[in-house]
Amino acid sequence: MKKLLALILSGTLTMGALSACGSTAVVAVPQPEESAPAVTEPVPEHTQGTSDAAVKTGLYLGTSLSSSKNAADGEDGYSQANIDLVAVTVTDEGVIDSCVIDSIQAKATFDATGTLTADLTAQVPSKNELGSNYGMGQVSSIGKEWNEQVQALADYVEGKTVEEIKGIAVTEEGKAADADLAASVTVSIAGYLDAIEQAVSNATHLGAMQGDRLVLTTSTNIANSKSATAEEPGQVQTSATVAAITLNGDVITSCYIDAVQANVDFDAAGVITTDLTAVPPTKNELGDNYGMGQISPIGKEWNEQVAAFCAYVTGKTLDQVAGIAVTEKGAAADADLAASVTIAIGEFQALIAKAAA
């Protein structure tokens, strides 16, 4: 499986540029809120006990560009996309069965002439993938790394309803006021509590059952970014694609994929011209407004095609998904799948292959 993952990821970098829905190459790793070199750890997941009760699968992506800044005083400017992620499974009674939290901090620099200085081919791991290399454990008052703290928060909310989560007390700084929770989570949790609520709101029955393993995987790049010229502004385009996957053994029982393209424009003086207070919507949130349906040969929007892909892989094993044949352009070669999905699927296959890591 690791060899398959490597092959898929390699192919994705080549074929992703041909996709009408975005890109798949990847980019510059941010400084964490407290410093971080790049390395990966196992994909975050949660395992419950066994049951025959159906649960809903939900995913939330929330993006902020507000930490971006202009080039000034001899220092480079940068685009910084902070993307918070939550995957959940939820019972019909509204009780959270499983929860996984992650975050992506994609930072790309440009100078005072509007020239990009970031490596556009560098990988952008999530904070869970960075693990101990994120660097928070070295400065944390409880000696816990970021991924350990959000895992503790995820464990804490399991078994609770949204109403109970809304009742979790926080300080003025957004941190846990409850002594037991604060003993294992010192990062601000207010935003994550809101994100969990949104993930629950987005949850729907896709085939998952209690006892299935919940995994959250990501693929992030800024490969389509460009420097400014005298005629045109520059742009950092952060493209993140995320999957919430549930598995019974190596069989996929549900799959929920979404993506966001967060653009920061800047001029030839390195001054940002984008409204950094605006929240970039995800492609699923955009729906028909994404505009793919107007040019698609099958008249289907991005969100419709991704939903069809997710339905197609549900019930298949990880190896079967990795083995789905693609054309030279990265689209599905299988006639049944191609009838409902014409966009490149290599990145989606790679996200699912990561679930085996």
d(CA 10, CA 8): 5
Number of structural domains, the chain?
1
Q: Is the pLDDT of residue 33 over 90?
A: no
Token look-up 């992030």 returns 220
* Percent of the chain predicted with pLDDT > 70: 85
Q: What average pLDDT is seen over the chain?
A: 90
pLDDT digits (tens, 9 = 90+) for 5-16: 444 444 444 444
d(CA 228, CA 233): 5
Residues 106, 32: contact at Cβ < 8 Å? no
Q: Is residue 201 in a domain?
A: yes
Q: Is residue 302 in a domain?
A: no
What pLDDT band is residue 52 in, cutting at 50, 70 and 90? confident
- For residue 168, the enclosing domain spans 27-276
**Residue range 46-58: mean pLDDT, rounded:** 74
d(CA 102, CA 290): 25
Q: Is residue 167 in a domain?
A: yes
**Residue range 284-299: mean pLDDT, rounded:** 96
What pLDDT band is residue 27 in, cutting at 50, 70 and 90? very low
Output the pLDDT for position 16. Answer: 41
Q: Is residue 337 in a domain?
A: no
pLDDT digits (tens, 9 = 90+) for 182-220: 999 999 999 999 999 999 999 999 999 999 999 999 999
Helix (H) or strand (E) segment spanning residue 198: helix 190-202
Q: Which of 66-70, 119-123, 145-149, 240-244 has the lowest mean pLDDT?
A: 119-123
Q: Is residue 346 in a domain?
A: no
Output the pLDDT for position 5. Answer: 46
Length of the chain: 357
Q: Is residue 142 in a domain?
A: yes
pTM > 0.75: yes
Q: Is the pLDDT of residue 29 over 60?
A: no
Q: Is residue 308 in a domain?
A: no
Output the pLDDT for position 324. Answer: 97
Output the pLDDT for position 45. Answer: 52
Give the start-end residues of each E strand in the chain. 45-46, 54-64, 77-90, 96-110, 204-209, 213-221, 234-248, 251-266
Output the pLDDT for position 31. Answer: 41
